[in-house]
Structure 1
């Protein structure tokens, strides 16, 4: 049993028999193909309709995030208003007690 790995044909240019495609073991490998040229960019055409979102999931998630932030803001403002109202009540009660004491 041998632990030496055989060369992979797709990485070394050899086929499964150990020879290259021309049938000779030491034949030169053809040069790689040149990179594909990109097509020139087309100018964007002005459209009378605005572009629609690509995904309805993105719209739904964004809407839920905005609604969540709005809910948190409302709860926070109402909590602060409640604390201010209670503080005003305690001050009023304390003023009444101090008037009675005098």
Structure 2
């Protein structure tokens, strides 16, 4: 089944929104902000229980800033890397839990 241009754009925009990215501001964001935004929204949505309180607060603050035009301009690479480091820590926790489950079962 071939998709027309409108359907393709609609599917793309839905995928972007599902991953925490606003399609309307996509061209205004640099790559690191996009990656960090995707990581933050996916971790909060799927693995929030693995976060400590200050980590969850940091991710929420980053998402809030990335969605606000004035605050987005003030985001630095350091803020993006902080989000990415939290994402790496959560991935390690997920892997450790998965490995323990495989040893038991």
Do these two structures clear the TM 0.5 threshold for a shared fold by scoring above it?
no
Relative to the length of structure 1, the TM-score reads 0.30
Relative to the length of structure 2, the TM-score reads 0.29
Structure 1 or 2: larger helix share?
2
Higher RCO (C-alpha under 8 Å, 6+ residues apart): 2
Larger-gyration structure (1/2): 1
